[in-house]
Amino acid sequence: MSAEQIWNDVRAQRERPIFKRVDERHPYDLYLGIDVRESPVLMLLSDRQVEQLPRLRSLEVSQNLRHDGKFAILISLSTPDLLHPFCSVCEDLIESLRNFTHTGGDAQFLLNRLEKWRRLLEATRKGLSQPQLLGLMGELLFLEQLVARIGPTPAITAWLGPTGAPQDFETGGHIYEIKVCPIGAHTVIISSLEQLHTANTPTTLIVFSVGPSSSEEPRAITPNALVSRIRNSLTNHPSSLSEFELKLADLGFDETQPECDVPLIAERTRAFEVRESFPRLTPVSVPSGIIAATYSLNLDQCLDFEIPFSQVLET
């Protein structure tokens, strides 16, 4: 049962605070509950006290000495609109502790693991500009296909865009750079000299033509709906789902941003093999005094390199 399901079950009862053990077979005393302020809480009962508690903007972390001599470590959500990320955090903490075997270090391990999630809970509300959101849509459209093709863990690992890498995806010795352009447009922006500088590594440039759509259009999808669809495909892979959430946070994705519920449509997808003679600027092809550049690439001048998108993920 998911964290959200457990919270919904206990919230329906009148008693406050109220807690339910996450799993009778879990090796540690972990509970999910609702406190007197109606906030969702994760609680660990530990034999040892934690010396220093982390301070987070969106969470309240506290500990209490119980009558049975155990320490209750409580992590409660203080920002209601971060419920979905908090669910992911709690499920990751629960699963991580399941495999933790160092006696007496459970509470500290839990809080150290929580620190890993700091950037998700503190960066979620940063939001994206419209060009950034469209760029993310392109990466997510490709990621969804990659998950179906090679599986959740390899696909999420292959997604390098959020890590600051020059290219968006790398898997199986192949690089994939993802671009988005308006429907009907024929150019894309290459944002650095390094972006198409891939040496001898096979590289494919993929371009999604994306534009606004009516909600009645069957092919239309919102950024939030696409994120939810990918989340659902990762449900049975907790570590991959956790990594997906962290990468969204690194990008500044905020699902409460109004633009994330605007329907869009991907009208066309084109793919180009970036071979030796492909038109591009790289650190080795420009004069030595040029250390950075952004340039426009005319896709209609790259027809000799175009391949059917259906061939892109063929083994």
Dihedral sign of CA atoms 51, 55, 61, 65 in order: positive
Tens of pLDDT along 25-77? 999 999 999 999 999 999 999 999 998 898 887 899 999 999 999 999 999 99
Q: Is the pLDDT of residue 123 over 60?
A: no
How many CB atoms are located within 10 Å of the residue 80 CB?
Answer: 11
The packing angle between helices 106-116 and 83-98, to 10°, is: 140
Predicted confidence at residue 252, as pLDDT, reads 82
Amino acid at 64: N
Dihedrals phi, psi of 169, to nearest 5 degrees: -140, 145
Q: 265 - beta bridge partners?
A: 211
Distance CA 303, CA 42 (A): 55
* Domain chopping of the chain, boundaries: 3-124, 127-311
The model's pTM is 0.75
Tens of pLDDT along 183-202? 999 999 999 999 999 988 99
Q: Is the pLDDT of residue 122 over 80?
A: no
Lookup: tokens for 46? 């530990």
Q: Is the pLDDT of residue 228 over 80?
A: yes
Tens of pLDDT along 252-302? 888 888 999 999 999 999 999 999 999 999 999 999 999 999 999 999 999
Distance CA 211, CA 123 (A): 27
Tens of pLDDT along 211-225? 999 989 999 999 999
Predicted confidence at residue 270, as pLDDT, reads 97
Q: Is the pLDDT of residue 165 over 80?
A: yes
Predicted confidence at residue 200, as pLDDT, reads 87
Q: Which residues contact 120 (CB under 8 A, 6 or more apart)?
A: 85, 88, 89, 245, 246, 248, 249
* CB contact at 8 A, 250 and 123: yes
Predicted confidence at residue 315, as pLDDT, reads 57
* CB contact at 8 A, 207 and 269: yes
How many CB atoms are located within 10 Å of the residue 5 CB?
Answer: 10
Q: Is 76 helix (H, G, I), strand (E, B) or coil?
A: strand
